Structure 1
Amino acid sequence: MTGLGTLLFLVGIGVLIFGLVSFRRKNWPRKKTQIIIISSILAIIIGVGIIPTTDEEASTEEPTKQEEKTEKVDNTPILKAETTFTTDDEGTLVVEGKTNPGAEVTLDFVAIPDAVTTADENGAFSLSVNQLDKAQDAVLSIVIDGQTKEQTLKLALTPAYETKLTAKAEAERVAAEKAEAERVERERVAAEEKRAADAKIAAEKKAEEARVAAEKKAAEEKRVAAERSKAAAAQPDTSNEQGQMVYITATGKRYHYDQNCRGLNNSNGETAVTVAQAKAQGLTLCKFEQ
């Protein structure tokens, strides 16, 4: 469009000059001259209108330059940070550095969750970790367009924060020991109460068994006494009979109530004893007196 505008502008100038010269000639048709002049003026105006200005040319060329600049951007991973970082007195750690714009930045720990952020448009990044519990190493890494770069950092604690951690650990140790002692005491008391309860149950059981046994023994003794009493009541009273005098011989097997009993006819002498004494010697009543 720039060449066409220039051509129209130059042709218009040339035709205008020709028209003006012809207009001064007396033998040149006036009407045709006017048409030529008007046409040349229009050509000049159109040519001027389509010729771009300097700013327009600059704006037209700028995207191309920007594209060329973009194409030349180097996405090689960049990671710049200090090698050692120290917490503040409250245990907060801030890691700062520079990398590729928009790169994903990760601070990788062993025992605590990783810290992750994204670099800003200038490549600056900042990672914050709260209450770091001990000095340790961590790996700082970035990923840009699938490429990775790493750097090992040493993370340190301030003396004031180390003192706080020591005091906290001691308090936790004391609390843990107290809790353990209380647990042991609770278990001891519970075991003692259980032993006492078991002993009480055993004593009550033993007492109950003794009571039942005593009741059974008393009942058995009562039963035996009743049977003896019943048997005694059924037997005749022989107390007088046992004391009655009878006669026995030295060689005889019988005792006799009557001294003149036929069983004594051949005896050489009789001895008077009680019935009980005769029975004690195994003697029985003479058959002639039965």
Structure 2
Amino acid sequence: MSVPGGIAVLSLVNATEGTSYGPTLLNIIQKGEAVALAATVAGLPDLVSQGMGAEPVFGPLYRCPPKLWGVGLNYVRHADDLGVLQPADAPGSYLRPSSTVIGYGDDILLPGQSQRVTAEAELGVVIGTTCRDVPAEDAPSVIFGYTSVLDMTAEDAIRLNPRHIPWAKAFDTFCSLGPWVVTPDEIPDLSAVRISTVVNGRTIASNQVSAMKYDPYWQVGYFSGGMLLEAGSVIATGTPGAGVIHDGDTVEALVEGVGDLRNTVRLKAA
């Protein structure tokens, strides 16, 4: 947990206070412990400096989101990259298996079935309250926070046939999440948040949430329509643009005010 002055380790908080928060972020979200945990940590100012001599190692937020929705073609630029029109009535979308999930510093593995894999930075919405049929104007009440997402695509499969989207998005390691979840109170203007896709230090595409065709609140309303969104579910809200990635590349999702996510690309072993 990031706090003023450093990072508070959850296991140390529990050991010091005799509490049983978590033990995972998904548990904290599902049990509604975030407010109580923040208050506990605020009362332990000396805890931050304990046990943090080394640089922390980040994993994904959690390995198995209850639902992991992806949104396609939510920026004009990305639709242009693929040579298609933006959907006029609703966003392109897809569900991903949990085996796609990795975290900061993990390797993105290029599958042998694709010769053109792309990576794209996105803003992720983390659902905090199990919900259904949420009006867009009420979406803030069910959002736990925001995270950074790197979304990979076997783009040659989609160019061959758009119906291959579920396959093209479902390879192992094709969705990186983290390293932080930032609560809504830390983002004064969600529409001004800038998302950038960076490959080997070069910015491939960059744009703000305000340029989305379907904003994050609208998406929460859309995906909760007639469908349960369990606490801990994640919606990847769309990318300003994707970059082709190859073995040895470093790819980043830079989400202003939310976090910088970085992964290395490797060929999948035969």
Same fold? TM cut 0.5: no
In our comparison, the structure showing a higher alpha carbon Rg is: 1
| Structure with the higher helix share, 1 or 2 | 1
More strand by share: 2
TM range (shorter): under 0.3
What TM-score, normalized by structure 2, do the two folds share?
0.18
Name the structure, 1 or 2, with higher relative contact order (CA <8 Å, separation 6+): 2
